[in-house]
Chains A and B, each alone.
Chain A
Amino acid sequence: MSILRLVDLTKTFGSLLATDCVNLSIDAGERHVIIGPNGAGKTSLLNQISGQLRPTSGRILFKDVEIAGLAPERICKLGVGRTFQRNNLFNRLSVLDNVRLAVLARRGNPMNAFVPMARLAALESRSVEILELVGLGDRRAALVRTLSYGEQRQVEIAIALATEPDLLLLDEPTAGMSPAETGQMVSFVAALPRTLTILMIEHDMQVVFSLADRISVLHYGRLLATGAPAEISRNESVQEIYLGTAH
């Protein structure tokens, strides 16, 4: 059962091909990792799926619904959540407020102009629940800008989970993390329920191989290969272009 299908997806910036006729199908519950050298167009691909970028041509089908070119908020409401490569948070707000805004969008009434947010207990308890899940329960009062980089990555994930997605897009979730933090992140992602499909970009090969059901290799916008981790590590052109040079 595929939850996401990319059909001939193409994105050009002027004469540059960021996404070159990509065809990819991702099954419900799958953990799919996209790898590729810098500038391969990985983030551009993710941005098209979540609506930050409008594809030049091709189709994106999420649960058999065309979402290519829809606004990010529409795509989010349909069930696609995401994190950003560089932390993209509400830096001057508290950790709790960061997550609560996302919970509000999904479960509350954002048009409410009369009841103080702090008094909406259901929103708060749900937000705390998510924060405890990602291990930030006791940091809820801190301002996001005062957190460590790794903790901010956790807030990214918490916000994405608070949108209650069926498909979670993670853009380099372990980038800039210490080895210990990376280990925590891997076990956290591994423990997420299989009702959630995960499509992630990752550079750290250890992380890739410990999480991926399948791997796709992107090179200059083209999809070079897709397959199980074992197949990908055997694939000669992949070794040559990516694994051989980068690591």
Chain B
Amino acid sequence: MPERTDAAGLPATRIVTILRYAGVTLLAALALVPLGLGDYARSIVAEVLLFCIFAMSLDLLLGFTGLISFGHAAFFGIGAYTVAVLGAQFGLHPLLGALVALVVAAFAAAVIGFFCIRASGVYFIMLTLAFAQLLHSVAFKWRAVTGGSDGLILRSLESGVTTYYVIFVAFLGVYFGLRRLIAAPLGQVFIGIRENETRMRAAGYATARYKLLSFVIAGCLGALSGALFALLNGFVSPAVLFWTLSGEGLIMLILGGMGTLVGPIVGAAVFIGLKHTVSTYSDHWEFVVGAIFIACVLFFKQGIYGWCREILVRGPRS
């Protein structure tokens, strides 16, 4: 068996052993959270977990396929609104609503992705943003269905603990599912496209088709995180479709380290933690987001997780 390396080209064996123990401990702790924490703390952990799904789904596009989307809030919003609208207007159970949300998101991602991928390169990021803002203005204007700026209130699950476990299970499913996908041929094709699309095409890959597939999978998982957000929050407003959320997704990836699955998880956790901390002390959350964004791009490109791995490989002293 040849030595495995990860996307950053670091030898993987040593890191894997260390991180595997850390990971198992963390998962065990997360499974036990509802027993040890109060309602507020539990809902924060749940929020972190659902944003981990959001960040991982965006990373599939950006970190693994090399497609920079500045409109991932579109899918988060589609997920949240599908659950909320079906619940509020038709009384559908939110868990069923979440399933419908996946189908709606797949369809929307196929249509939006078709146009965004057609005009490649720098147009992709422009178009993803434009389509997301279109959905945002629809949510604002179509008051009869979405409640406009008032938003929609929906029925929550029987208990907060149930909601937590639903989110936890979804998180596990997405993490292990994506890990499987990335190691499998399909994921390797995505990585090949990220690394060198010209070469992939010359090797016989119809790359546009794979990029669309990546966009659809990422869209579905983004919608899943949105649906879980609606479930946890019990309330959905056009904010779930706003461009700031797309930008926050990008910062989670940069902060944690893109091109890995653990990176977005670390990024989402740190980001949400910071958000709750800073918001209690200051009104300038957006300034802080921007400052972190700028600082990371300028000085900390590998992200927290990438940095940790470098330390593990080189040793702390060098």
- What is the interface of chain A, defined by CB distance below 8 A to chain B? 50-52, 71-74, 76-77, 82, 84, 88-94, 96-97, 100-102, 104-106, 108-118, 120, 140-141, 143, 145, 159, 162-163
Given contacts A92-B9, A141-B2, contact A113 B203 (CB under 8 A): no
Q: Which residue of A lies closest to B195 (CB)?
A: A90
B9: chain A residues at CB < 8 Å are 92, 143, 145
Q: How many whole Å from B210's CB to the nearest CB in chain A?
A: 7
Secondary structure at chain B's binding surface: helix, strand, loop or mixed? helix
A71 near B206: Cβ-Cβ < 8 Å? yes
In the complex the two chains form, what is the Cα distance from A76 to B3 in whole Å?
Answer: 31
Q: How many whole Å from A209's CB to the nearest CB in chain B?
A: 29
Q: List 10 A-B contacts (CB under 8 A).
A: A52-B202, A88-B202, A90-B196, A101-B189, A104-B188, A110-B185, A113-B185, A113-B187, A115-B184, A116-B180
6 closest Cβ contacts across the A-B interface? Answer: A141-B2, A76-B204, A116-B183, A105-B204, A90-B195, A113-B186
In the complex the two chains form, what is the Cα distance from A140 to B2 in whole Å?
Answer: 8
A140: chain B residues at CB < 8 Å are 2
B188: chain A residues at CB < 8 Å are 97, 100-101, 104, 117
B189 near A104: Cβ-Cβ < 8 Å? yes
**Contact residue among B180, B198, B199, B205 (Cβ-Cβ distance under 8 Å from A110):** B205
In the complex the two chains form, what is the Cα distance from A118 to B203 in whole Å?
Answer: 20
**Contact residue among B180, B202, B206, B213 (Cβ-Cβ distance under 8 Å from A50):** B202
B180 near A88: Cβ-Cβ < 8 Å? no
- What is the interface of chain B, defined by CB distance below 8 A to chain A? 1-5, 7-9, 180-181, 183-189, 191-192, 195-196, 198-207, 210, 213
A111 near B186: Cβ-Cβ < 8 Å? yes
In the complex the two chains form, what is the Cα distance from A43 to B283 in whole Å?
Answer: 59
**Contact residue among B7, B180, B207 (Cβ-Cβ distance under 8 Å from A113):** B180
A116: chain B residues at CB < 8 Å are 180, 183-184
A108: chain B residues at CB < 8 Å are 185
In the complex the two chains form, what is the Cα distance from A94 to B188 in whole Å?
Answer: 12
A117: chain B residues at CB < 8 Å are 183-185, 188
In the complex the two chains form, what is the Cα distance from A92 to B188 in whole Å?
Answer: 13
A141 near B184: Cβ-Cβ < 8 Å? no
B3: chain A residues at CB < 8 Å are 141
Q: How many whole Å from B158's CB to the nearest CB in chain A?
A: 34
Given contacts A90-B199, A93-B191, contact A113 B204 (CB under 8 A): no
Q: Which residue of B lies closest to A104 (CB)?
A: B185
In the complex the two chains form, what is the Cα distance from A141 to B201 in whole Å?
Answer: 24
In the complex the two chains form, what is the Cα distance from A125 to B207 in whole Å?
Answer: 25
Q: Which residue of B lies closest to A90 (CB)?
A: B195
- Contacts A52-B198, A77-B204, A89-B196 known; 17 new A-B pairs at CB < 8 A: A52-B202, A72-B198, A73-B203, A91-B195, A91-B196, A92-B195, A96-B2, A101-B189, A101-B203, A102-B204, A105-B204, A111-B186, A112-B186, A114-B184, A118-B4, A140-B2, A145-B9
Q: Which residue of A lies closest to B186 (CB)?
A: A113
A109 near B195: Cβ-Cβ < 8 Å? no
A145: chain B residues at CB < 8 Å are 9
Q: Which residue of A lies closest to B3 (CB)?
A: A141
A88 near B198: Cβ-Cβ < 8 Å? yes
Q: How many whole Å from B213's CB to the nearest CB in chain A?
A: 8
In the complex the two chains form, what is the Cα distance from A120 to B185 in whole Å?
Answer: 9
Q: How many whole Å from B209's CB to the nearest CB in chain A?
A: 9
In the complex the two chains form, what is the Cα distance from A110 to B5 in whole Å?
Answer: 21
A163 near B204: Cβ-Cβ < 8 Å? yes
Q: Which residue of B lies closest to A109 (CB)?
A: B185
B203 near A102: Cβ-Cβ < 8 Å? yes
User: Which has the most chain B C-beta neighbours within 10 Å: A89, A92, A101?
Assistant: A101
A71 near B201: Cβ-Cβ < 8 Å? yes
A94: chain B residues at CB < 8 Å are 2, 5
Q: Which residue of B lies closest to A115 (CB)?
A: B184
A76 near B199: Cβ-Cβ < 8 Å? no
A72 near B201: Cβ-Cβ < 8 Å? yes
User: Which has the most chain A C-beta neighbours within 10 Å: B8, B180, B200?
Assistant: B200
